[in-house]
Structure 1
Amino acid sequence: MDYNDLPEKRIKPLREDDNPQIFRTLRNIDLNLLTIFEAVYVHKGIVNAAKILNLTPSAISQSIQKLRAIFPDPLFIRKGQGVTPTAYASHLHEYISQGMESILGALDLTGSYDKQRTITIATSSSVGALVMPTIYKAVRDEFPQLLLRNIPVTDAINKLSQFQADLVIDSYVITARALAHHVLYTDKLVLVCRKGHPALAQPLNADTLRQYEHTLLMVDGQSHSDLRKRIFELFPDRQVSFSSYNLFTIAALLADSDLIGLMPARIHALFASCWPLCTLDYPPLNEELIDFSLHYNKLSLRDPVLQNVIKVIRQAF
């Protein structure tokens, strides 16, 4: 009997509504039996497989009998001192071996760099636009098999503590004991307005700035409380008429109004290539610096791949 087409019917793309049945089917299969099947297939004998798996030949034989009860085929036929697989077993081997390789690749137990793997990096949209091109080039040059995924940075402590992100890059230091950080670069804050703004033709002082309305970047939590306090001391009477969580939105509005806003200098340089923006030289702001740091869970250093990705990113900056 020809079994060549049978696995084609068993192995097909899974639909969401198939999942309960798939789970019930797998629940009735001891997946260790598939490991034994592969060992017998690759080493062409029960005795050889028993040595590789550190089991008795009797245990291997019992496992093959269980597999024969699951699949409609004898799977292996005795030939001389060993066994030869049936056509059905050869076809089954193709799927099982691929599945095992995929599982081992996902687990990456050896930290192999030739395995495709996704590294998840959380940033804000503006910080991502600034740092991800440099990170992408540095990581891909060293580890071309790694894939990068950029997600929004929200509740950074939980994201790292629960391993929902491998790395977080943001402008504040997370103080949780389980987390570590390295400063990638330090930037200064600048006042930004549109080109042709009337403030550019006036002496820039506190009285001038009070004449215009300002934008405000909203950030989560208390992470920037010290920075907010210092900015309030620098601009105690500023009138905020627009606030947003997104610096891209703020930049677009600054370019099309007489609003004035604050942002890091490198992000302004990036936005200035997209919108007609320029900076206002305000000396009291010159000493205000902000660190952008790479954060990660300390337990991640047990992963040699991630450890070296962190090293490459730090070197890139």
Structure 2
Amino acid sequence: MMANLQDLKKFDLNLLVIFECVYLHRSVSKAAEALFLTPSAISQSIQRLRNQLNDPLFLREGKGITPTTVADNLHIYLEDNLQQLEQTIRVVQGAPQRKNFIIYCSTFMGFEFLSPLAEKFCRQLGYELIHYDMAVAPNSAEDLLTYRKADLIIGNTPVINHSVICTPFMVAKPTLVCSKDHPRIGDSATLEDLQKEKFARITGIEEGLRQYQVKSSEAFPEREVVFQSDSPITVMSAVGQSELLGIIGERGYERFNEVFNLKRVNTQMPLPTLDFYLMYNRFALQSSAFKLLLENINQRLATLV
């Protein structure tokens, strides 16, 4: 069926692009940032589309906006068609498709899940994996995914956003460790023993990690922290070469206890677990290569659980 070009000529197709961006972000300001436009320009465009479709499209709900039924139906039709149009333009212009995936996670998560599959994955598909440490990321996970600065994130703070898929990934169980040569702490210690010691602590800018530290402090309020680092490797190294104690993940201990001269300290002190989430922009699922990347990561996770 041939498109009615005369009808299309009367319609500003840019309005559909702006609509889709607002729909996915549920925010005029975030859509403006993503499209490098002003919020005023976005609002004016949405108003023009409202007039043409005779529907409000978005309604105020608390601090955000919610789509109408017409907006939901319009999104369903646009989701695949805009992607196909973008691919068509790339082919016509001869522009090469992006051949890398940008992944944010902690250094240890990268070590566990990305390093084993990087060479195999890249050799099979010709893609490059680019890893950044989430512990020192300048933006939140939500901003990184919403503005397509990251393809996938394994982090401690779940993202609640219509354009982002967020699923539980794994639960890190904590363990208390010290140097094998510690002069006072043996294989077990009482709370009274621990209150006399000094600690190293893993830090980070993620809200989920900050909340975890609050829970840890509530579980062990008398702990005296004298060294902090956003690198688990640095904390393990510091503990193994000093009289400091530290709380690290069980898997980190199992993998690195011999390397860093660590031993587990058994105690009755209850320690909170740390949750990790797998997050990615839902548009990424339109890539078969990205789906394969997810499968590889989940297969790796299955071997570790």
Question: One fold, TM greater than 0.5?
Answer: yes
**What's the offset of the Cα at 1:135?**
3.6
The C-alpha deviation readout for 1:26-84, integer Å capped at 9, x for no partner, is xxxxxxxxxxxxxxxxxxxxxxxxxxxxxxxxxxxxxxxxxxxxxxxxxxxxxxxxxxx
The C-alpha deviation readout for 1:226-248, integer Å capped at 9, x for no partner, is 32232112111111111112222
2:107 paired with 1:125: yes
Q: Secondary structure at the match of 2:173?
A: strand
Look up the equivalent residue of 1:122 and give its one-letter code: Y
Structure 1 residues not aligned, in runs of 5+: 1-99, 109-116
Report percent identity of matched pairs: 19
2:217 paired with 1:206: no
2:152 paired with 1:162: no
The C-alpha deviation readout for 1:219-276, integer Å capped at 9, x for no partner, is 1142234322321121111111111122222111111111011111112223224211
Aligned counterpart for 1:291 among listed residues 275, 298, 305: 275
The C-alpha deviation readout for 1:277-315, integer Å capped at 9, x for no partner, is 1111123336x3223332111222233322332233223
Look up the equivalent residue of 2:205 and give its one-letter code: D
**So what's the TM-score if we normalise by structure 2?**
0.60
Larger Rg computed on CA atoms: 1
8 Å Cα contact 1:138/1:313 also seen in 2: no
Change in Cα spacing, 1:176 to 1:271, as seen in structure 2 (3 Å) is: farther
Change in Cα spacing, 1:295 to 1:199, as seen in structure 2 (3 Å) is: farther
Change in Cα spacing, 1:272 to 1:202, as seen in structure 2 (3 Å) is: closer
Q: Secondary structure at the match of 2:238?
A: helix
**What's the offset of the Cα at 1:216?**
1.8
Kindly report which structure 2 residues correspond to 1:102-141, keeping only aligned pairs within 5 A, or say none.
Answer: 104=94, 106-107=96-97, 117-136=99-118, 139-140=121-122
The C-alpha deviation readout for 1:70-115, integer Å capped at 9, x for no partner, is xxxxxxxxxxxxxxxxxxxxxxxxxxxxxx99x757227xxxxxxx
CA distance in 2, matches of 1:255, 1:134: 26
Structure 2 counterpart of 1:316: 300
8 Å Cα contact 1:138/1:316 also seen in 2: no
Kindly report which structure 2 residues correspond to 1:228-239, keeping only aligned pairs within 5 A, or say none.
Answer: 228-239=213-224
Look up the equivalent residue of 2:297 and give its one-letter code: I
Kindly report which structure 2 residues correspond to 1:1-317, keeping only aligned pairs within 5 A, or say none.
Answer: 104=94, 106-107=96-97, 117-136=99-118, 139-140=121-122, 143-153=124-134, 154=137, 155=139, 156-201=141-186, 204-285=189-270, 288-317=272-301
Look up the equivalent residue of 2:280 and give its one-letter code: Y
**What's the offset of the Cα at 1:140?**
4.7
CA distance in 1, matches of 2:285, 2:215: 35
Change in Cα spacing, 1:311 to 1:176, as seen in structure 2 (3 Å) is: same
Change in Cα spacing, 1:270 to 1:106, as seen in structure 2 (3 Å) is: farther
8 Å Cα contact 1:130/1:270 also seen in 2: no
**So what's the TM-score if we normalise by structure 1?**
0.58
CA distance in 2, matches of 1:313, 1:202: 35
Q: Secondary structure at the match of 1:183?
A: strand
CA distance in 2, matches of 1:235, 1:300: 42
Q: Secondary structure at the match of 2:236?
A: helix
Look up the equivalent residue of 1:295 and give its one-letter code: M
8 Å Cα contact 2:166/2:279 also seen in 1: yes
Q: RMSD over aligned Cα, in angstroms?
A: 2.7
Look up the equivalent residue of 1:207 and give its one-letter code: E
CA distance in 1, matches of 2:268, 2:116: 31
